Copies of this chain bind each other. A is one copy, B any other.
Amino acid sequence: MLWKRWLVGDPLKTAQAAHERLSKTLALAVFSSDALSSVAYATEEILLVLVPVSIALAHLSIPISLMIVLLLAILTLSYSQIIFEYPGGGGAYIVSKSNLGEWPGLTAAASLMIDYVLTVAVSVAAGIAAITSAFPSLFPHRTALGVFAITMVLLVNLRGVRESGKFFAIPTYLFIGTLLLMLGIGGIQLLSGHLTPVVAPDLAGQAAIESLSIFLLLRAFSSGCTALTGVEVISNGVSAFRAPEPKNAAITMVTMAVVLGTLFMGISTLAYHLGVIPKEDETVISQVARAIFGDGAFYYLVQAATMTILILAANSAFAGFPRLASLLARDSFMPHQMAVMGDRLVFSNGVIILGVLSCFLIVLFQGDTHALIPLYAVGVFLSFTLSQAGMVRRWLIKRGPHWQTKLTINGIGAIATAIATLIIASTKFSHGAWIVIVLIPLFILMFRGIRSHYKAVSEQITLDRRGARPPMPRRNIVVLPISGVNRAVVRAVDYARSRPGEVRAVLVDLDPEETAKIEIQWAQWGCGVHLIALPSPYRSVLGSLLDYIEEILEKEPDTWVTVIIPEILPARWWQNILHNQRALMLKAALLFKDRVVLTDVPFHLTR
């Protein structure tokens, strides 16, 4: 308990849960880390598909990036409409559930949960890659560094991050600023012809252009689509904006999309003109920064800012996942304890589960961003598609002013994201997307299984308003099994006698001599409680006791049987193996008997 307090801080009062309203400038910082941070790896992922086939294909990264920016524009427009329709926050789960029904809602929820875990894993892996690019000696420790980073973010989130916009503003704007500066200087160098291409690795063995398949192009496009993960975040947080909330949120979203598009296109263009080739131990963005700034302070600033914004992106999932889990828990699709706020006003269970799952992924994929990426985008785009499709359905039913235009916009969004989802799922299937495609239905089954259990429980425990109280036993016989007379037993006798009623001590007779000895002791210490010696032809203490209790239950159908067990509690946990084996067996045997209630009277050992 002390440890917990030191790690996560003292409890907070409910009244302390005040919410800060964010200005557009601060909101951009708070909500955009997830989206903006993806420029740190998106260009690299495109090149990683093209370059291994032939270095001469690298120029294709430019048109592919343009396609992705176009998709970004479509998404931004579509999501602005969600912002105005769901000012209370329109996550994919809510939008698809309210418009399309339960199954699509659960599908969106499943994809989102998987996404949040992957957001943490991918962002942390890419953040660590930013560090190891600058300090290559750390490269072999990627996994450990990743787990450490997640643990830190986990602890911060268990303490509860007060939504302090300023805390986010500095690193986010630093990232935007340094990257824009880099792109500006790079652009000037490019236009003035002073851009020095990176010395490419030895490609003597490289074959000439091989057959360029459509599949390859689509796969590169799929990889680039990771740039768009996180663009929906603002639409979840409309209520945190200053009034008029929807308008401010929409303006912020457009601003974010412009910044994202600029950074992404800029990096792709510079990387191509610099002839950057993906390397295992240095990121593309690090190579670009090194080419433009040299090895000076500015280079390290770019790396530090990249790492920081990626960690913030991971942090944003720690807000989203527990919130989604609590929404699901309120609908009984997740265990109810996911909806319980801890004493730091945080859904601690969700935070811990997300931390554990993402650490697991980091360890499983050895902190390798490229290995994690194929799992990532498919869930994101599935939830995009379901949201847009939900909006289409909404306009068809609700109509209202300009509904045809709105329908068209969301319709285009739905079709575009659906196509992207199919492309990603098919081209990345064998690289890992299949894992997500298998997991989504399993999650849905789990959600529905949990709800049907809660339903069954509620039906069983709900009281019938008009019905009479079921008849219940009115008497209570206390049975106190002993195997000797000692302080623990005497304590249990005292406890049993502290409320009026019938108390019977029972002793299983294994050895007549021993039994006689105990009976004599009982005369002194038993306080007049009647001691019954049970015969035991099979030497089974448990069997004889069970038979005796069964007998009482049969004879007295109107009686509770309270079994009081004197239990010795050792001072150290491992000493339990030396005690209470019989008590444990007795408890297990009695647990499922109706009208039998167990009471342990602990006797605490001090050494």
Contacts and interface: CB of A to CB of B under 8 A. Distances in A.
Interface stretch (A8-16, A57-65, A110-118, A149-157): A8-16
A525 to B, nearest CB: 6
Interface stretch (A261-269, A290-298, A315-323, A599-607): A599-607
Given A594-B604, A604-B594, A486 B462 contact: yes
Contacts of A501: 499-500
A575 interface: yes
Interface in A442-477: 450, 453-454, 456-457, 460-463, 469-470, 472-476
A487 B539 CA distance: 39
Q: How many identical chains are in the complex?
A: 2
A486 B582 CA distance: 33
Given A473-B498, A494-B472, A460 B607 contact: yes
> A341, A473, A500, A539: which has the most chain B beta carbons within 10 Å?
A539
Interface in A476-490: 476, 485-488, 490
A600 B597 contact: yes
A274 B592 CA distance: 68
A430 interface: no
Given A490-B469, A568-B461, A538 B605 contact: no
Contacts of A490: 463, 469-470
A498 B474 contact: yes
B456 A11 contact: no
A343 interface: yes
A182 to B, nearest CB: 47
B578 A454 contact: yes
Nearest to A11: B538
A103 interface: no
A13 B476 contact: no
Interface string A1-45: 000000000011111000000000000000000000000000000
> A454, A485, A602: which has the most chain B beta carbons within 10 Å?
A602
A203 interface: no
Nearest to A450: B578
Given A14-B538, A498-B560, A335 B594 contact: no
Interface of A: 11-15, 335-337, 341, 343, 345, 450, 453-454, 456-457, 460-463, 469-470, 472-476, 485-488, 490-491, 494-495, 498-501, 521, 525, 537-540, 543, 560, 562, 568-570, 575, 577-579, 581-582, 591-592, 594, 597-607
8 contacts: A11-B540, A343-B540, A469-B525, A470-B490, A473-B498, A499-B499, A499-B501, A598-B600
